[in-house]
Amino acid sequence: MLRDLYAESATGKGRVALISGPGATGKTELLRAVADHVGAAGGQVLSAACSRAERMLPAAVMGQLFNSVPLPTEVMRRIGAFIDLGVATTGGDADIRAVHGMGVELLDIARNRPLVLLVDDVEFADETTLQTVLYLQRRLSAAQILVVLTESPQPQPFNPEFRAELTRQASFCNIQLSPLSEAGVTELLRGWTDDETALALTPAYHRISGGNPLLLHALSEDRRAAGPTDATEAVVGDQFRQAVLACLRRWDPAILETVQGLALLDDYATPALLARLLGSKPARVRWVLNALTTSGLLDAGRFRHPAARAAVLHDPDPDALSGMHARAAELLHSEGAPAPAIGGHLLAAGGLAEPWAIALLQDSATHALAEDRVDDAVESLKLAHEMCHDAARRATLTAMLADCQWRVNPAAVKQYLQSQRDALRAGYLSERHAAALLRYQLWHGHPEDARETLRYLRDARQQLDATTVAELDGCAPWLRLYFPVAFAELEATPDATAATTPALSLSRADGALAWATPSLTAVLTDGVTDEVIARAEQVLGSHMLVDIGPGSALCALQTLVHADRLDQAVHWCDVLGAEAGARGTTTWHAVLSDVRSHIALRQGDLPLSERFAREALDAMSPHNWGVAIGSPLSNLLLAKIGMDKLDETKALLKYVIPDAMRDTWFWPLYLRARGHLHLAGGRVHAALADFETCGQLAAQWGMDLPTLLPWRGDLAQVYLRSGRPDMAREMVTEQLSRPGADNARTRGISLRLLGSALDVKQQVNTLRQAANLLQESGDRFQLALALAALSSAHYGRGEFNTSRVVARSAKQLAKDIQAQALCRRLLPSGDAAGGDEADPPPEHEEMSRLSDAEQRVATLAALGHTNREIGKKLYITVSTVEQHLTRVYRKLNVRRRTELSLGLPMDAPGAGLLAVTSSGAERSWSQWEPAAVQAS
């Protein structure tokens, strides 16, 4: 169209073209294209760009036009004089002499060749320039002049008279620009990339930019800066945000202010509410929204992309923005908007001195917590707490704040313990918040304060709501188990309310545990029933994660674990873990990972236990774990010991253990793991001390149950290592007599240790029973240890082929759970271990000096067989036995028969190392042992 207009003007029929369109739709670029075309065609171009700042400067734009190209000196002298006349004019009116003079000069310049005047943003032109344009327009019928003007829409037109006069002339032509269509976007993109990529990017680019050329160019720059990316996705970066602001700043400041209000109110922005926020009129706001929609910045009055809204929100001065947020909060509250919509504005404004503000922030925090926006909830509660001066309400806000932060950062709750205890004493704390305070006090090692809170809850039993009662009832066994010292005083002084207070009436029976809520207790002392399992699963399946409460959930999970319903426990850990991950509750995720690590230990899956324990410790830092750090540390220690990663376990002992952990069940768990590390490293006396301390604490706290803490079996391993099998038998026999010891896994581990302490003639049957029970329990690690011990027993009886077959089964199990090194040390020889796949362990180096025949004789002699018995077993004469023994004494540097065991691998460091369970092998022992052996 402009090329045609220029061609027409070159014939002496001058024209005026006004290019209208919203900001950043390509008007300036179009003027440049016209200038290039005219220059190539031999015409003359004078150009100028108007500015809001120079609007009141007389003849400023005319000065730009005449100075845009070199003109004769005489012409410039006359022009200067006319401009001076315009400057001398007062009141903003144009001097008619200046207008006439400059108009005549332009007509003279156009006599020799076509002249094109280009004026960008004419709405900001001074009065003298506007009158000169109109002067020319009235004389264009015989002039080679084309005047091209551009304008952007304004909420309040600056020069309505000028536009009216301009448009009524016959020479006038209006060109309306709009954002690019999808086809236009594709064409533009083809200039930057290949056709396939252009077509793929077009939908995203058009959706985000609305076809606005400035925004399209910015998106292209962001994509180029980002490097290789998905061909169908636009990259929205800093260039795009800057382009949005640049586009808005080209217009009236009122437009930018309106857009800022729109960004602030977001979904609640209506023309009426925006007008009230800005102190403007709804009609003016509607005009701005329509103009921005036309430019492509908005779509139906809303931002096309969150980055555009973010750019607008970050542009104002912080103080001004804070004031806008305060006004927005008041407006939305007066309109009855929901609390979450107002709370964000109150936060951004730093609060309001309004009576409704505190309650609204509290409601906003509740909504944020329900949507798992913990950080937003914390910020709302902190601000409400700062604004509140009522002691009772501040206590409630602090309790809510502690509940929020507990989910992601338990260590942060410590700062509230003192004030919450004071609030409890003053009667400001609700029973539900008191129950939560009890959890915080126990977790962070404040047993004295916890006892005070427990007394309060016991006395307030009749006033507790049903939810709080259910949580306390459900978690009582777990609290009593893990925090026995905190409950000691209450147990020593029962009162009349105890019989009606299931959650708090904790007592001992028969030296073990007994609670009014029986699930976990029944499993530990009386065995498993369908009713107990159903009750545990009902707790886990009836509510959402945050509704169950950590005490109730952990108690139910522990019930399943100690009932050896490990598959069900894993299922619920996975269900709760998925919810914890989705809701961002870091504390729950860490605790459930710890439970999964313990389950994996009981399944004998050492690598899996190690992974989950590490995950638990990585999810929360040690100071966030509080006294419970002992649980994941214990699991990780035991897993690494079982996998023979002793060097790595030393670093774990450097963790700082809270002193308060010594008053919790986590302490004996940690001591037991540390004792096994000592035992694996050959520090027998240190292991003995740790195991004995475990036993003392278990007895002192009324929790002497082998299912919970098999400390007697641990001591038996120490005695076996020290050459005191009688003491080992005594420990294991006593362990088997304890309540709950008939559990398949516990009994299997006990029989394995008992078999190792018996005479060689009695070992096989006992170890075979142990293997069957451990097979049933599914603990693959303990089964591998039992098979290794059984292999040694067969070897000691001279049943070498059977020993080799059983050893290979043990070795395969050990390989599956990455405990090969430990299992090799347990086996009687490299041959029995299944061949020469690996070098013999260090403890077998002494045996390597002996011949095969000498090894067999020495082994049987060390096991207590007489020379005659050895001869019968090996089908050799007594004389031959004596000759072999003489050579064995010399090679092993021993002087008598009783010293043989010192040079032979009769037992392994770490034998029977762990007492943990699992769901592993599904075959019965009869499939592990050859038919010939069973027949015998």
pLDDT tens digits, 90-114:
555 678 888 999 999 999 999 989 9
> For 397, phi and psi rounded to 5 degrees?
-65, -40
The secondary structure of residue 543, as a DSSP letter, is S
Q: CA Rg, the chain, in Å? A: 44
Give 355's Cβ-side CA count (13 Å radius).
0
Q: What average pLDDT does the segment 169-198 reach?
A: 91
CA separation for the pair 636, 621 (Å, rounded):
15
Q: Is the pLDDT of residue 829 over 60?
A: no
Least confident piece of the model among 33-42, 372-381, 464-473: 464-473
**Three-state DSSP class for residue 305:** coil
pLDDT at 838 over 60: no
Task: Give SS3 for 51.
Answer: coil
Residue 309 token pair? 């809204």
pLDDT reported for residue 752: 95
DSSP 8-state secondary structure symbol assigned to residue 388: -
Chain centroid offset of residue 452 CA: 36
User: Which pLDDT does position 422 carry in this prediction?
Assistant: 94
Residue 119, strand partner residues = 48, 149
Give how far Cα 515 sits from Cα of 462, 518, 767, 914, Å.
20, 6, 36, 29
Q: Which of the two residues, 480 and 56, has the higher pLDDT score?
A: 56
pLDDT score for 924: 40
CA dist 207 and 668 (Å) reads: 63
Q: What is the mean pLDDT of residues 803-828?
A: 77
DSSP state of 122: G
CA triple 922-924-929, angle to 5 deg: 125
Q: Would you state the torsion angle of the CA atoms of residues 594, 596, 602, 604, taken in this order, to the nearest 10 degrees?
A: -110
Contact 465, 473 (CB under 8 A): no
- Give dist(CA 213, CA 191) in Å, integer: 13
Distance in angstroms (rounded) separating the CA atoms of residues 205 and 188: 11
In the prediction, which pLDDT does 52 show? 85
Distance of alpha carbon 259 from alpha carbon 324, whole angstroms: 12
In which residue are the tokens 């007008």 written? 275
Whether residue 934 has pLDDT greater than 80:
no
Each residue of 234-244: pLDDT tens digit?
899 999 999 99
- Per-residue pLDDT tens over the stretch 71-97: 999 999 999 888 888 776 655 567 888
- Give the three-state DSSP class for 547: helix
Q: Which residue has the higher pLDDT, 70 or 479?
A: 70
> Which residues have C-beta within 8 Å of that of residue 13, sequence separation ≥ 6?
140, 141, 142, 171
Once rounded to an integer, what is the mean pLDDT over residues 412-441?
91
Instruction: Give me the pLDDT at residue 474, please.
Output: 56
What tokens were used for 513? 């545990």
| Residue 146 host element (H or E) | strand 145-151
Tokens of 44: 């003359």
Q: Which residue from 873, 561, 538 is spatially nearest to 708, judged by alpha carbons?
A: 561
- Distance (Å, rounded) from C-alpha 114 to C-alpha 57? 29
Per residue in 359-388, pLDDT tens? Answer: 999 999 999 988 889 999 999 999 999 999
Give the largest Cα separation in the chain, rounded.
145
Weakest mean pLDDT among 123-127, 182-186, 773-777, 922-926: 922-926
> Is 415 or 903 the better-scoring residue by pLDDT?
415
Helices (H) and strands (E) in the chain, counts: 49, 9
Tell me if 888 sits within 8 A of 850, measured CB to CB: yes
User: Closest Cα to residue 118, out of 152, 93, 146, 153?
Assistant: 146
Which H helix or E strand runs over 226?
helix 213-226
In this predicted structure, the answer to whether residue 214 has a pLDDT above a threshold of 60 is: yes
Mean pLDDT of 319-343: 92
Give the span between the Cα atoms of 370 and 365, in whole angstroms: 9
Work out the number of other CB atoms within 10 angstroms of the CB of residue 463. Answer: 10
pLDDT of the residue at 916: 27
514 membership: H or E segment, kind and range:
strand 512-515
The pLDDT value given to residue 798: 82
Using CA atoms, how far residue 295 sits from 207, 238, 251, in Å, is 13, 20, 11
Give me the pLDDT at residue 89, please: 64
Q: What is the pTM of this model?
A: 0.71
- Return the SS3 of 449: helix
* Consecutive H or E run containing 457: helix 447-459
Please report the pLDDT score of residue 769 as a whole number: 94
Residue 645 near residue 651 (C-beta atoms within 8 A): no
* Structure token pair of residue 575: 């269900």
Residue 262 confidence (pLDDT): 94
Question: Comparing 791 with 838, which gets the higher pLDDT?
Answer: 791
Measured distance between the N- and C-terminal CA atoms of the chain, rounded to whole angstroms: 108
Examine the pLDDT at 68 and tell me if it is beyond 90. Answer: yes
- Looking at residue 498, what is its pLDDT? 37
pLDDT tens track for 867-911: 898 888 888 898 899 898 888 888 877 777 766 654 454 333 223
- The pLDDT score that the predictor gives to residue 930 is 39
The CA-CA-CA angle for residues 206, 208, 210, to 5°, reads 55
Q: What three-state secondary structure class fits 49?
A: strand
- What's the whole-number mean pLDDT along residues 191-196? 88
Q: CA angle at residue 395 from 389 to 401, to 5 degrees?
A: 105
Average pLDDT over residues 906-932: 33
Q: Find, among 611, 935, 917, 624, the residue nearest to 785 by Cα.
A: 917
State the chain's mean pLDDT as an integer. Answer: 84
Contact predicate 183/33, CB 8 Å: no
Q: What confidence score (pLDDT) does residue 598 get?
A: 96
- Beta bridge partner(s), residue 46: 117
Q: Is the pLDDT confidence value at 126 over 70? A: yes
> What is the rounded distance in angstroms from the CA atom of residue 805 to the CA atom of residue 910?
23
Identify the three-state secondary structure at position 657: coil
What is the per-residue pLDDT for 904?
53
Residue 786 to residues 794, 841, 911, Cα–Cα distance (Å): 12, 19, 9
Calculate the alpha carbon distances from 682 to 643, 679, 712, 726, 810 in Å: 16, 5, 19, 21, 23
Question: pLDDT confidence of 760, banded at 50, 70, 90?
Answer: confident
The tokens describing 227, both together, are 């490097």
pLDDT at residue 457, rounded to an integer: 82
**Nearest partner of 347 among 334, 358, 336, judged by Cα:** 358
Which tens digits make up the pLDDT trace of 853-871?
A: 888 888 788 767 888 988 8
pLDDT digits over 521-543, tens only?
777 767 777 888 888 888 887 76
741 pLDDT higher than 60: yes
Percent of the chain with pLDDT over 70: 85
Tokens found for residue 688: 């003995």
The Cα–Cα gap between 361 and 383 comes to 8
Alpha carbon 489 to its chain's center: 40
Going by their DSSP bridges, the two strands 298-299 and 302-303 should be labelled as antiparallel
Q: pLDDT class for 801, splitting at 50, 70, 90? A: confident
What are the backbone dihedrals phi and psi of residue 768, each rounded to the nearest 5 degrees, phi first? Answer: -65, -40
pLDDT score for 825: 62
Residue 517 has pLDDT above 50, yes or no: no
Percent of the chain with pLDDT over 90: 51
Q: Which residue has the higher pLDDT, 505 or 856?
A: 856
Fill in the amino acid letter for 195.
Answer: D
pLDDT in tens, 246-276: 888 877 788 888 999 999 999 899 999 999 9
Per-residue pLDDT, averaged over 699-726, amounts to: 92
Q: What's the full length of the chain, in residues?
A: 936
Give dist(CA 99, CA 134) in Å, integer: 10
Among 366, 369, 368, CA closest to 545: 369
Report the b/e string of 526-559 with b at 16+ CB within 10 A. Answer: eebeeebbebbbebbeeeebbebbbbbbbbbbbb
